[in-house]
Amino acid sequence: MDEHHLSKRLSRVAAYVPEHSRVADIGADHAYLAAALVLNGQSNYVVAGEVVRGPYENAQAEVTAQGLDKQIQVRLADGLDAIEAGDQVETVTIAGMGGSLIAEILERGQDKLAGIKRLVLQPNVGEERLRRWLVNHRFQINAEEILEEDGHVYEIIVAEPTMIPIQYDERELVFGPLLIEKQGPIFRRKWEEVREREAAALAQMKTASQPPADKIAHFRHRLALIGEVLG
Q: What is the pTM of this model?
A: 0.94
Could you say which of 168, 195, 218 is where a domain stops?
Answer: 168
- Please give the residue range of the domain that contains residue 199: 186-230
State the Cα–Cα distance between residues 1 and 213, nearest whole angstrom: 47
| Domain co-membership, 161 together with 194 | no
In a domain, 64, yes or no: yes
pLDDT number for residue 210: 87
| Domain co-membership, 87 together with 135 | yes
Q: How far is CA 23 from CA 84, 122, 202, in A?
A: 12, 15, 44
State the Cα–Cα distance between residues 144 and 13, nearest whole angstrom: 11
Rounded to an integer, the average pLDDT of 153-160 is: 98
How sure is the predictor about 29, in pLDDT bands with cuts at 50, 70 and 90? confident
In a domain, 65, yes or no: yes
Rounded to an integer, the average pLDDT of 125-142 is: 97
- Answer yes or no: is pLDDT of 1 > 90: no
Rounded to an integer, the average pLDDT of 68-81 is: 97
Structurally, the chain folds into a number of domains equal to 2
In a domain, 180, yes or no: no
- Answer yes or no: is pLDDT of 4 > 80: no
Rounded to an integer, the average pLDDT of 39-62 is: 95
Q: What is the pLDDT of residues 157-204, one digit of tens each?
A: 999 999 988 899 999 999 999 999 999 999 999 999 999 999 999 999
How sure is the predictor about 5, in pLDDT bands with cuts at 50, 70 and 90? confident
Rounded to an integer, the average pLDDT of 125-135 is: 97
pLDDT number for residue 156: 98
Average pLDDT, the chain: 94
| Domain co-membership, 205 together with 106 | no
Q: What is the pLDDT of residues 85-102, one digit of tens each?
A: 999 999 999 999 999 999
| Domain co-membership, 121 together with 198 | no
Q: How far is CA 151 from CA 5, 57, 96, 101, 183, in A?
A: 19, 30, 15, 23, 19
CATH code at position 152: 3.40.50.150
| Domain co-membership, 27 together with 116 | yes
Q: In what order do the strands lie in the sheet with 118-123?
A: 72-76, 46-50, 23-26, 91-97, 118-123, 152-161, 139-149
| Domain co-membership, 81 together with 143 | yes
Rounded to an integer, the average pLDDT of 198-213 is: 90
| Domain co-membership, 37 together with 145 | yes
In a domain, 179, yes or no: no
In a domain, 113, yes or no: yes
In a domain, 144, yes or no: yes
| Domain co-membership, 15 together with 64 | yes
pLDDT number for residue 123: 97
pLDDT number for residue 12: 97
| Domain co-membership, 103 together with 137 | yes
- Asked which of 106-120, 187-201, 207-221 is least confident by mean pLDDT, the reply is 207-221
In a domain, 177, yes or no: no
| Domain co-membership, 60 together with 136 | yes
pLDDT number for residue 2: 56
Rounded to an integer, the average pLDDT of 213-229 is: 93
Residues whose CB falls within 8 Å of the CB of residue 209, separated by 6 or more in sequence, listed in order: none
| Domain co-membership, 158 together with 196 | no
Residues whose CB falls within 8 Å of the CB of residue 51, separated by 6 or more in sequence, listed in order: 27, 76, 77, 78, 79
| Domain co-membership, 154 together with 199 | no
